[in-house]
Amino acid sequence: MLAGKRIVVGVCGGIAAYKVADLVSKLRQAGADVDVILTEHAERFVSALTFSALSQRPVYGDLWEPTGEAAARHIALGREADLLLVAPATANTIARLGQGMADDLLTTVALATTAPLLLAPAMESHMYQHAATQANLRLLAERGAIVIPPESGRLASGEIGPGRLPETPTLLAWISKTLGRNGDLAGRRVVVTAGGTREPIDPVRYIGNHSSGLMGFALAEEARDRGADVTLLAGSVNAIPPDGVTLRRVGTTLELRDATLEAIREAEALVMAAAVADYRVERPAGHKIKKGSADENPDGSLTLHLTPNPDILAEINALVTAGGAPRLIRVGFAAETTDVERNAAAKLARKGLDILVANDVTKPGSGFGTETNEVILLSAGGASERLPLMTKREVARAIWDRVVPLLRDRAPSSRDAEH
């Protein structure tokens, strides 16, 4: 999503300016062209050399460069930009932007561009919370600027409160989301489930599975970057869930069932990438099960009685068939170890899915905990497509590519005419 995008990063004079060097580096690595503008005060905190080395482009600062081309610099930067990010946005620059001043290159570019303006305020808490700063931010937001909320924590002043510049992955998520806001999923509400469910045995033990959640996270990120409003229901996962989505944590299959039924009420598509436990312990012990206790059988063995969990997709299918959520597009996953295609086709029919993503988890590079996946996409119409080994993000892209036309057919939105 970031490849080939032209991003202007305005850096102001705040202690968090050094963090933006890392952001510029990551943007460059993702293939974006980054033009950095330093305000006069920023140059006291960080050097232009750092940023030009990372962006591999000149860094701009002075509105009054003595070369001929400088006179039109703000026009060119503004015209070519896909996005203008101001980070850290200081109280002073927020005030200048709010008033529409054009007293340096950054504020001039902000006036000259029609690209979206992203502001990442970072400053001492009282300055951030001051009525003047808040009024300026509201004014800018009313005019269409997107304000990234600062994080709370320990500030350079030693105080604890809101005012920290979010970390690079969070800033990258906001940039991707903003760039994709007119994408082919713009305005669509989608639900993605990810990770494994956990069924308690007693207060300290559970039955779980190897799901890493990476496939579901890639699906959520991809949908977010194509403009969707994403609800992510995440079971147990080690990875950090993406920013810029509505996240709900779930534990057991029953919790996931309730959360999914609630989330699909407003949604147009559901992608069930979660690895759902088919059984749960019928009566989890209220205390930790001890060796030699009455929980054991007389021969010292332990019996756990497992009872079936509801099949969430099958329940939703019953709901759809009964007219409950008729336009919901449903995508399921099937991790198989034998007879992949036949088992998958049967599963697609049984659960009434539009698309089923099947993978042979015994293949190298496929399945749990890997960065890649090799899948077969089966459609309700009977089509089957074998995709090569690709990253989970690429698999996610292929899945949404096939969901978009289904959404247009089943639930056209006013924006579809634009695509």
Query: CB atoms < 10 A from the CB of 416, how many?
Result: 15
| Minimum CB distance to ligand CTP smaller for 112 or for 334 | 334
Distance CA 328, CA 325 (A): 6
Q: What's the token pair of residue 418?
A: 């634009």
Specify the 3-state DSSP secondary structure of 109. helix
Distance CA 26, CA 390 (A): 22
Stretch that binds ligand CTP, among 42-50, 166-174, 180-188, 268-276 (CB under 6 A): 268-276
Sign of CA dihedral 242, 243, 248, 251: positive
| Minimum CB distance to ligand CTP smaller for 18 or for 279 | 279
| Minimum CB distance to ligand CTP smaller for 295 or for 311 | 311
Q: Binding ligand CTP by CB under 6 A: which of 245, 313, 355, 375?
A: 313
Distance CA 128, CA 115 (A): 25
Establish if 332 lies at the interface with ligand CTP (CB under 6 A): yes
Establish if 340 lies at the interface with ligand CTP (CB under 6 A): no
Stretch that binds ligand CTP, among 150-158, 163-171, 205-213, 326-334 (CB under 6 A): 326-334
Contact 81, 8 (CB under 8 A): yes
| Minimum CB distance to ligand CTP smaller for 73 or for 347 | 347
Distance CA 65, CA 72 (A): 11
> Half-sphere exposure of 124 toward its Cβ, with a 13 Å CA cutoff?
8
Establish if 274 lies at the interface with ligand CTP (CB under 6 A): yes
Q: What's the token pair of residue 86?
A: 């101001």
> Which positions are annotated as active-site residues?
209
| Minimum CB distance to ligand CTP smaller for 109 or for 220 | 220
Residue reference for tokens 């147990």: 236
Establish if 334 lies at the interface with ligand CTP (CB under 6 A): yes
Contact 14, 92 (CB under 8 A): no
Q: Binding ligand CTP by CB under 6 A: which of 278, 282, 339, 385?
A: 278
Alpha helices in 101-234 (DSSP H): 105-112, 125-129, 131-142, 168-179, 214-225
Establish if 311 lies at the interface with ligand CTP (CB under 6 A): yes
Q: Binding ligand CTP by CB under 6 A: which of 335, 340, 399, 406?
A: 335
Q: What is the DSSP letter of 275?
A: B
Stretch that binds ligand CTP, among 78-86, 166-174, 287-295, 304-312 (CB under 6 A): 304-312
CB of 42 to ligand CTP, least distance (A): 48
Establish if 333 lies at the interface with ligand CTP (CB under 6 A): yes
Q: Binding ligand CTP by CB under 6 A: which of 309, 359, 370, 373?
A: 309
CB of 268 to ligand CTP, least distance (A): 18
Q: What is the DSSP letter of 241?
A: P
Query: CB atoms < 10 A from the CB of 411, how many?
Result: 15
Contacting positions for ligand CTP (CB under 6 A): 253, 272, 274, 276, 278, 309, 311-313, 332-335, 347, 351
